[in-house]
Structure 1
Amino acid sequence: MAYKEKEIEKLYYSIGEVAEMFSVAPSLIRFWESEFDLIKPKKNRKGNRQFTKEDIDHVRTIYHLVKEKGFTLQGAKEMLRNDTQAVRDKMEFMDSLKKVRSFLVELREKLH
């Protein structure tokens, strides 16, 4: 059996990496950090933000509400205050549907 190298999973991501994940400017991530209590990255001795997977999930939730669903910041805050888990569940469901759709489209193209 061939040796397969295990992928190294990062514990912390820089603000630049997080901004790149969502194709937004780092200043927007800093702004959301000041507006939403959910985003609380650690800061190293230099003061650089270090985002965990949980922080990135929170950014993803806010991105979904503000950029994809068109909520105002106040509307997104109220939505998160009311039921953060319900919002995440819906996002996961939508992601699953998108993956299924892309798989079916790819399958259709292979058949033709």
Structure 2
Amino acid sequence: MPTNEPLRRSMAYVQFLAQLEEIKSLLAQGYSKKLIHERLTQEKLISMAYVTFCQIMQKEIQNDSPATKEQKPVNTVQTPAPKPTSRSGPRIIKSDKEPFPNPHTMSLEDGI
């Protein structure tokens, strides 16, 4: 797979997904990302740069993106959705206090 020319857009992602199971098994065995990248590059299974490999790994494995979620059991417990409120304005918590004085009509002693 590897050549000296840059990969076409998203081909690095395709190569990564093709080796996803092996990458997961190597991670489970304790291999570092650097060693996994070196091994897959030497075996000519991937041809992406290490930085690209790390970016895709961050997206796919550590954040459990949709490609990896398909293989995990789905949680069947659903949380209830919050009920929508009929009012769209601010709530008045306590309305029994004095209203805020109008600064144009208040005296200087009221503000101190």
What TM-score do the two structures reach when normalised by structure 2? Answer: 0.28
Higher CA-based Rg: 2
Greater percentage in helix: 1
Higher normalized contact order (CA 8 Å, seq sep 6+, divided by chain length): 2
